[in-house]
Amino acid sequence: NAGVMQNPRHLVRRRGQEARLRCSPMKGHSHVYWYRQLPEEGLKFMVYLQKENIIDESGMPKERFSAEFPKEGPSILRIQQVVRGDSAAYFCASSRGQGRGNEQFFGPGTRLTVL
Amino acid sequence: GIQVEQSPPDLILQEGANSTLRCNFSDSVNNLQWFHQNPWGQLINLFYIPSGTKQNGRLSATTVATERYSLLYISSSQTTDSGVYFCAVEKGGTSYGKLTFGQGTILTVHP
């Protein structure tokens, strides 16, 4: 049973370009979460999605960032017009359900470097 | 939001030593997880433990939900245990899904 898959593992972008990060949840999981780990900082929640729905985006920056989890295909975290401060490790997690009893499993992360 | 504090922030051990890592949290929780982030940056699930005690090999964990803390025990440490240990909680009530992480304990095990 494959774990959470993320790609690419490493992504280099120049300032002003777009970054697209992909996440495929574990088989049987329909809940997806994105977290960001900035250098020298801890992991911070960004957004929680179910198929075709954003449940909680309280951790998403107000501009340039968006996320989706379509009916078919992986979840996408999109960063438009990247800046150097967006350089970080972006982790995706998935769970079978929500609330008590639902453990989150993490992917290997995408390390974004903005030149 | 909920606050999560981990201690100690850094820990240096000789191989074979035992250690205890602590996680305090400021509110009731639905879920609590312990992770190990290895030197390659990967987050490894160690325990899902909103309450009670669990053991897995040389590692064990205890959460006392009523007193709002959790402990991670590492016995007979090995160099491969080095890395950062994170505690993460999901606040009780309707804050489903959102894990709040502590700042981590950086563990270094010397041979």
pLDDT digits (tens, 9 = 90+) for B59-105: 999 999 999 999 999 999 999 999 999 999 998 876 678 999 999 99
DSSP state of A25: P
Q: Is residue B11 pLDDT above 70, yes or no? A: yes
Q: B1 pLDDT band (50/70/90 cuts)?
A: confident
| Lookup: tokens for A68 | 């989706």
Averaged over A42-64, what is the pLDDT? 94
Distance CA A7, CA A18 (A): 15
- How many CA atoms are closer than 13 Å to the CA of A95, on its beta-carbon side? 21
Is B86 within 8 Å of A102 when comparing Cβ atoms?
Answer: no
Nearest neighbour of B48 by CB, restricted to A98, A99, A103: A103
Q: Is residue A77 pLDDT above 80, yes or no? A: yes
So what's the pLDDT on residue A101?
A: 79
Using the Cβ of A96 and the Cβ atoms of chain B, whether some distance falls under 8 Å is answered with no
Q: What percent of chain B has pLDDT over 90?
A: 89
The total number of residues written for chain A in this structure: 115
Instruction: Using an 8 Å CB-CB cutoff, list chain A residues near B50.
Output: 100
User: Which helix or strand (DSSP H or E) is residue A12 part of?
Assistant: strand A10-13
Q: How far is B77 from chain A (nearest CA, A)?
A: 24
Q: Is residue A1 pLDDT above 60, yes or no? A: no
* Residue of A63, A60, A80 lying closest to A20 (CA atoms): A80
